Amino acid sequence: MTEHDGLALRRVDPDAWRVDVTMQAAFVALLAGSLSRLLTYDARDGNTGWSLALYLVFGVLHLSGPVWAPAPWQGERPSTRHLIRLGLLLAVWVVLLALEPSATWCTMPLLFTGVHRLPVSFALPLACVLTLLVVISELRVASGLFNPNLVIAPVALATVVTAVLLHSRRLADRQRLLIDDLLRARGELAAHERRTGVLEERQRLSAEIHDILAQSLSSQQMLLQAAERQWHHAPDTAHEYVRQAAASAGRALTEVRRFVRDLAPLDLDGNTLVHALRALAEQHAALGIDGQPGSGPAVEFRVDGTPENFPEAVEKALLRVSQGALANIREHSGATRAVITLTCSPDSVSVDIADNGRGFEPAPIPHRREARTRGHGLPLMESRARQAGGTLRVESAHGEGTVVSMSVALGPHDGAAARRPLPAQEAP
């Protein structure tokens, strides 16, 4: 919502519309009372015709003003047209006041017109002038002894009305400022949400690209390097490395196409999490932790508990974390053995990826923006775990290997509807 929208809302405020209608109705009633007095008591004057004409002009100017010269809205300066209309009203009213003292009854609508919408610098002098003219008119037609009420009553009434209207004006100004602040805050919040959405989408795309392309390219690079070393001494082995690199490239291409269609990971397409993790372990076992195919079954997969179908977001995060952890093991740890353990319980699910590599001193997982070139794996894994409602923990020490653990608590709504026991062949 823009500031212009907020102004439009204020201009169709039903309360302001009701106040305007009430003031117009009061003016019509007071004008009718003045005309009734003129025709009943003052008809013998020779100025009756002029007074009737002036009352007609006065009424038309006042009632038609909102159409051709509307009053300013709160916080706006009065237009030239409105000031001209107000000057004409005052001039006609002053002439009427000189001819017919009953015109003082129309002072109240003029006070509302002058104070309710005009800036204070215009409103207060106008109220004082109107009050002074009313007092002069009352004293002019008074007879007998001086009556102090002729002075006190108009002044007191005008003071009360002016004070009430100015107080209402201040409240309206405060409300306008609050509305403006609210609109500004909403605009800033919307802009912040847009920026946050863009950053989250960039983070998601970066994570997907890292998981799909970076890990696959790393595997292909090691396979091709191994093929180059064996090309002249063991051509059959070298050709096997090349075939595995081609298979890895084909798999990454399929993942990219599926990612573009924003579907689940290929390993989970029609398969369970247990099947996907087992296939992942077999793939890395055939590849070898150190990038030397045929070096032995370096990766094992284990299941603890009863496997179930978990929510898709949880399964995807567990699989991606496992992929990232294995990629880090193969590239950085120098390990000869790794174990993936899926632990299932009624209220949680977790995956642990442990290796017997060189280990390191774990530091707090940096924010994504702090990882620029290398070391994307842990921040991305932590981000995936958090987005799935889980946590990531890294335990390591020099010479003692590393354990990466992701766990997700499952609430009651993730029960039977989302978690069904797997077929017998998927059980460990």
Q: Which helix (H) or strand (E) holds 179?
A: helix 149-209
Domain-terminating residue out of 141, 160, 190 = 141
**Is pLDDT of 61 > 80?**
yes
150-191: pLDDT as tens digits:
888 888 888 887 888 778 778 877 888 898 899 889 888 888
The half-sphere exposure of 357 on its side-chain side, counting CA atoms within 13 A, is 27
Residue 349 DSSP SS3: strand
Q: Is there a single domain that holds both residue 137 and residue 277?
A: no
Q: What is the CATH number of the domain that holds 411?
A: 3.30.565.10
Q: Is residue 426 part of a domain?
A: yes
Q: Is there a single domain that holds both residue 281 and residue 136?
A: no
Q: Is residue 210 part of a domain?
A: no
Q: Is residue 246 part of a domain?
A: no
Q: Is residue 166 part of a domain?
A: no
**Is pLDDT of 92 > 60?**
yes
**Is pLDDT of 307 > 70?**
yes
Q: Is residue 333 part of a domain?
A: yes
> Backbone phi, then psi, for 401, in 5-degree steps?
80, -175
Give residue 212's identity as a one-letter amino acid code: I
Give the dihedral of Cα atoms 420, 421, 422, 428; nearest 10 deg.
140
Q: Is residue 280 part of a domain?
A: yes
Average pLDDT over residues 260-264: 55
Question: Structurally, how many domains does the chain consist of?
Answer: 2
Q: Is residue 55 part of a domain?
A: yes
421 close to 300: Cβ distance less than 8 angstroms: no
Domain-terminating residue out of 141, 172, 205 = 141
Domain-terminating residue out of 106, 141, 176 = 141
Calculate the alpha carbon distances from 189 to 7, 184, 194, 202, 408 in Å: 20, 9, 9, 20, 31
pTM of the model: 0.42
- Provide the residue range defining the domain that includes 109: 3-141
Calculate the alpha carbon distances from 271 to 29, 54, 140, 285, 306 in Å: 83, 92, 102, 20, 16
Residues facing 302 on adjacent strands? 341
Integer Cα distance of 425 and 143 in angstroms = 115
Residues facing 304 on adjacent strands? 343
Q: Is residue 250 part of a domain?
A: no
pLDDT at 5: 44
356-388: pLDDT as tens digits:
888 888 766 544 444 444 445 788 888 888 888
Q: Is there a single domain that holds both residue 132 and residue 280?
A: no
What token pair was written down for 250? 């084909």
379 close to 370: Cβ distance less than 8 angstroms: yes
